[in-house]
């Protein structure tokens, strides 16, 4: 994933949204989504010098969910408790079967996708 700050740095260096998107390998609409708060507040490319730290502070205010670095995989610690059991079954049964056994026999409440990860 591209650091959102890079989008702002490229854009502020007077590059078009299309150029920023191509340069960073993201969709032009994604660039527009992240630039919209800056445009709405009147920031325009080529203005007074701004550092990455300046952008990071603004981005934290505009997109607080991106600043939250806490663990997103809240089910992993629960799955980890059954690591030895899972390893003993790997190679003999499918992940779906392991998931079903964990749910039925051990009361684990996670998705198959979480278990696969």
Is residue 1 predicted with pLDDT exceeding 50?
Answer: no
pLDDT band, very low/low/confident/very high, at 2 (cuts 50, 70, 90): low
Residue 15, pLDDT score: 93
pLDDT band, very low/low/confident/very high, at 112 (cuts 50, 70, 90): confident
- Cα 5 → chain centroid: 14
Range 72-89 average pLDDT:
84
Domain ranges across the chain? 4-67, 76-116
Indicate the pTM of the whole model.
Answer: 0.57
């Amino acid at each position: 994933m591209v650091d959102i700050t890079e989008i702002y740095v490229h854009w502020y260096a007077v590059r078009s949204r299309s150029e920023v998107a191509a340069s960073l390998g993201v969709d032009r609409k994604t660039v527009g989504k992240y630039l919209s708060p800056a445009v709405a507040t009147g920031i325009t490319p080529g203005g007074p010098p701004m550092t990455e730290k300046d952008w990071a502070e603004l981005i934290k205010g505009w997109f607080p969910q991106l600043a939250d670095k806490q663990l997103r995989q809240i089910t992993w610690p629960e799955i980890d408790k059954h690591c030895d059991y899972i390893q003993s079954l790997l190679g003999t049964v499918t992940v779906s079967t392991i998931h079903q056994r964990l749910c039925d026999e051990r009361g684990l409440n996670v998705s198959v996708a979480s278990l696969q990860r």
